[in-house]
Structure 1
Amino acid sequence: MPQQEVRVSVLGAGTVGSQVIRLLGERAEDFAQRSGARLVITGIGDRKSASEQPPFIDPALVTPDLESLVDGVDIVIELLGGIEPARGLVLRAMANGASVVTANKALLATHGPELFEAAARAGVDLYYEAAVAGAVPVVYALRESLAGDTVTRVLGIVNGTTNFILDEMATRGLSFADALADAQRLGYAEADPTADVDGLDAAAKAALLASLAFHTRVGITDVSVEGIRHVTQADIAQAAADGFALKLLAVCDRVGDDGVSVRVHPTLVPLAHPLATIHGPFNAVVVEAEAAGRLMFYGRGAGGAPAASAVLGDVVAAAAHRVHGGNAPRESAYAALRVLGPDDVRTAQSVRLRVADEVGVLAAVAGVYARNGVSIESVRQVPSDEDATITIVSHIARAGDLRRTVAELRETPVVREVVAVTAVEAG
């Protein structure tokens, strides 16, 4: 076994942190061979007392004094989550010469430029593969493998919890509430599921993906976000009847020479699209690049083990750079690209309407679309005893025009109700 030691501290011993600590102990010899050094945990920051820790954690290493763990070490693994104290600890660790591995997507989406600049000044590494898609190695692909290409689009399922919920609704016929309860029981969702089901977790990841893919700076406040709380079993069933799967997608587009759009929302995905086949707590990211074409990265997203796998991959890489010299690839120079506002994004849209079952309804509805400059791709009508339900799918159009179309439909006499409005992935 190599004799050189790399000192590692772990901030946070929760679901992911405890898995990282366990695997660092169980696979110490493998990691030593891969990195060229023995990875030695010198401290574990956690609020739980030593007696509350699992048996594989040495109680002598546990302390609530997080600041003491960012001095005198080679690698700091930050798994606290949130903004503070994580931000201050990461900055201090890097200023002290430690490389940092983090799974904190909220921190990076909010303060990424500051942290990357601090890492460059200190000549240390900042790794964050686990912050985006669990065990899916899309950060490495965007930062290194595709560095010589031009990425035009990134879209994907980047939150395993919401994918599990929507999949349970689709395959088992569960309500949103029952599917969420299952996700919580299985450990895929937190007791407070807000970040997942309201799309905030996916939005932070979308900001990171867009920043990496388009070499620009996108913050979480630049992302248009819609979650899945409003999704009903009727929405799921109608999607299937129309030939779609309903997924929460992060969509990042390069627009022209100087623009990007970044959004998270429930999306109708054609059943022939590869993302329609992603089930359970899995993540998948599709990258479209000028030379490479369409690439897809797939793996488990929700849960401690997938994130721990990505964290440990970064730890081994950081240790190898320590031992053999050199640094991880730095973030490329940023271009000042314009982030499009919600109304300027271009997308296709499905609108489900309950309308009067009478002559002239389709003409009236089509007239609304025409007045707002939106072209209709398809219309599907389901008659009933009294009213009828029609589903209209538009061609790709400006979101502002689509919004005005829906607003006018709500005021159209033959329209009894706008039942659902959902983005459509063109394929």
Structure 2
Amino acid sequence: MSAATKASMLPEPYETLRLKTRAFIRDVVIPAEPKPGTTLTEATRRDLMSKAKAAGVFAPHLATEYGGQGVPLEHWPAIFIEAGYSPIGPAVLNCMAPDEGNMHMLELIATDEQKARYLVPLGSGDVRSCFGMTEPHPGAGSDPLALQSTAERVDGGWRINAHKRFISGAEGAAYCILMARTEASADEGFPAGATMFLIDMDHPGVRLGNPINAIDTAIAGGHPHVYFEDCVVTDDAVLGAPGEGFAYAQVRLGPARLTHCMRWLGLAKRAQDIALDRAARREMFGSQLRELGIAQEMLAQSEIDIATSEAIIDRTAAMLEHDPKAGAALSGIAKVHCADAIGRIIDRAIQLCGGDGVTDALPLASYANEVRPFRIYDGSNETHKWAIARRASSRRRREVEAGALPLDTVNEHGNDIWGQQ
């Protein structure tokens, strides 16, 4: 084993789990993949989940008391990337969105009773869930502060009215974690803001609306509209404390957008391997494709995109574990970088594979469909860039106010900063 390989290894027992996950995805999951463009059947998903549990690779992110492998967040990346090498791998290992993000939040915030009712069956793969944030315009989308859904206090509970759209996984989900705006209560001591509610999908007042047919298919349950119409729930439906929903959303969204990076990077690495294999077999103009400069440029750029994505994912995961606030900010940078880089990697692989790349002879076109929405999901890249630029401007303003050297090399008198003319 090379020094570089040793340096990249995870501490035990997580390196062993990564290798087991790698073998399970390649030996068990990939042979069971549906044809490109089709979806995984529920029967196959459950069969593969049983095999994942038997192999000891199921739910790597979840605490062992709930049936998972108990991997700390900072060590998720390498294992999630291995899971993502197959488009159905995360679903089989029960670490796919939105369930993975919901599990993480429930572990941190839910009461013991809520964990028993909602987390345990979700962690075991017996049910699926959804997260109800996004709304039709002008409601919450990339800007969660535009939340229009309301929950008003009634005797012993809350009356909720909400129209949610693009609620991933809602078809067939057992329950929804819903975000709704709530007013302050001086008597009960909670602020105005947003509140999260755990609501069964068969609860009175909950109605599944029209489907939204997006180009991605990896998330079971689609992305439909969901309506909550005079839906009355009791106080024990509140997740966490009333009025604190926006803070809880950050607990979920920072790691959740990063795990998207991990999973789709695994798929990008699969695309690169397909391109490398094609370049090794294909001859053009008397040479192997991999010996041609234009192909080498594309392969090299993809290797660079993979390496830089891995680096920022690893750094962000470590920060989310040890400094969640800073990690949440960095996760926006990671999301933008990885969403763009992953798209480039898969697009180059398609180009290198020529005509086969855009047909079902290879799975690459379906991979492109899966990853393209990531530039929009979990906050559009443009929204994240806006926030990144604002944070950078604020940071620099504070530095200058504290006496740091200004960026301008020329002062108002025409002299440079060293006093020279």
TM range (shorter): under 0.3
Higher RCO (C-alpha under 8 Å, 6+ residues apart): 1
* Larger fraction in strand: 1
User: Which of the two has greater helix per residue?
Assistant: 2
